[in-house]
Chain A
Amino acid sequence: MAKIPELKSHHIWAFCLILYLIPVVVPVGSPFQISEITLKIYNIIENLPEGSIIVMGGSGVFAFDYEPGAAMIASIKQMAKNKLRLVGIPLGMESLQLHKYVVDTAKVMQADGGPWKYGVDYVQLPFIPGGDAALVRLLTSVQSVVTVDANGTPLENLPLMKDFRSYKDITLWICPHWGYPSIVRYVTGERGVPSVMFAHAYSYTVYAPYMMIYPDKVWMTNGFLGGAQYEKLVGFKGLGHAAVDSYTLISVAYVFFVVLGNITLLTRVKKEEEEAEAKK
């Protein structure tokens, strides 16, 4: 059997780059199923009473949280449609920027033609340093930790904040960030507030035990796939759909290269055996 030469990494990367270009130029439009857990989370938010306060908060890195952002944008559209209210609580240095990004991209504010009015339906709190201590204090009394919003407006001037004083006013906590363990431990575990994580594909495997500990209070979607499913449920196409499109081709490439690598190994082993026999 002829020896298959080892491919150079640059050739593999160039091939992958071409594969990424294909769905951009020619949209694949891959169909996909809706998972049970994504549908469950969608129905939970769909069945919340009008005016319920949902908190979007946590601590993370924006670039990693880009992935859960796909589902977060879709859920914000759903919240706006169902007249729910949202408060953004950034506990990480980049979380404020992510919150602004997802709300702006969802185009739910009146300035973007949406139904939400700032201060009435949505309030963005400023970055709160201090990690877990800040979260615990905030849950006890919001106004004792934060006195103004991200724009510097005093909280007493915002109608929404009159109804949001402590964890007792939170109907659901959504975390599109890496720092979900803190939310599970202090918000759900200690205070019984249900929480949803639009998880990264990596963090789904890591935080899945929390879904087993609190099966009726903790739910998670799985990465870009979960984001695409949520977008489909809400009825628009965003980054989730684009990611699933390109994944259709990249998954084939991944399997192809693993198989090719093993065939290369087999030819080398066979070649070495033939050479050893020839020497004998």
Chain B
Amino acid sequence: MSSSIIYVRTYLTRILLIIGCIATLTSWYFVSPHADIVANELYNWNVNIGTFSLFVGVVTLFSRYLKDISSRKEQWEYKFLGVVLIPIWVIMGQTAGVFSDLYQKAYFNTKITLHVAILGQLMFFMISGAYRTYRIRNFRTLLFASCTLIIVVCNASWLMTPFPIADKISYWLLNNPSMAGYRAMMITGAIGAVVMGIRILLGLERGALRATEAR
């Protein structure tokens, strides 16, 4: 591709990025009907363009799976199952409707059931992990283990019922030391997000768009 087209592409994306950002900021911080119009129009564009992001997963999956199935790579049989299941599901979904009882039943009893089961497995790993890692050798592990155990015990009804103060202790710990720790992370994250936004606007973040990378 000629270098002039690359430059045009680069500057076009940069200009669109700046317009989008300035419009959203201006429409909020200033009283400007024109900025409002541009911002509202860009919000609608965002919604419409975002619709197509739902298809990226299936395109990626099919391109990889079909390659692996045709070359009979390891565990190709499971990928074949996926390639067969997806179109069947899509046809069922379009026929029944995404808000129908049939689709809800099918989705709940397959994907949601599996997801809940997979997440629930973490509980078993957490208990066996606690058995192995919460071995108190120094102050740090003592602090970490005691914080965990205090909350575990204070949330349990066998302690909460004879000692109602356990509930208050639990909430006090969650609303004070725990909240303060994450608040520090939140403030730092916000500073980082603002700085990142300014760097993107100034074109210093090269990874944001592939078009900004020099070829």
Which A residues contact B (CB, under 8 angstroms)? 7, 9, 12-13, 16-17, 30-33, 35-37, 61-64, 66, 93, 96-97, 100-101, 104, 124, 126-131, 133-134, 136-137, 140, 144-145, 150-151, 190, 204-206, 208-209, 211-212, 222, 225, 244, 247-248, 250-255, 257-258, 260-262, 264-265
- The majority secondary structure among interface residues of chain B is helix
Q: CA separation between A124 and B40, bound complex, in Å?
A: 23
Interface residues of B (CB under 8 A from A): 28, 40, 42-44, 46-51, 53-54, 97-99, 104, 107-108, 111-112, 115-116, 118-119, 123-124, 127-128, 130-132, 134-137, 145, 149, 152-153, 155-158, 160-161, 164, 167, 171, 174-175, 178-179, 182-183, 186
Q: Please determine whether B179 and A212 come into contact, CB atoms closer than 8 angstroms.
A: yes
Docked pose: A35 CA to B169 CA in angstroms: 11
Whether A32 and B99, one on each chain, are in contact in the complex, defined by CB atoms closer than 8 angstroms, is no
Pull 5 A–B residue pairs with CB atoms less than 8 Å apart, ordered by A. A16-B127, A31-B157, A62-B111, A101-B108, A134-B43
Once the chains bind, are A254 and B182 in contact (CB under 8 Å)?
Answer: no
Judge whether A13 and B179 touch: CB under 8 Å.
no
Determine the chain A residues whose CB is within 8 A of the CB of B124 once the complex forms.
Answer: 12-13, 16-17
4 additional A-B residue pairs with CB within 8 Å, beyond A33-B161, A209-B179: A13-B124, A62-B111, A205-B179, A208-B178
- Whether the Cβ atoms of A97 and B119 lie closer than 8 Å is no
Report the bound CA distance from A130 to B41 in whole Å: 13
A29–B63 Cα gap in the complex (Å)?
A: 52
Closest 4 CB pairs of A and B: A63-B115, A130-B47, A133-B46, A137-B43
Complex CA–CA separation, A260 to B44 (angstroms)? 58
Given contacts A62-B115, A140-B40, A262 and B136 within 8 Å (CB-CB): yes
Residues in B whose Cβ lies below 8 Å from that of A37: 171
How many Å from the CB of B113 to the closest CB on chain A? 9
Residues in A whose Cβ lies below 8 Å from that of B171: 35-37, 222
A144 to B45, CA, bound (A): 12
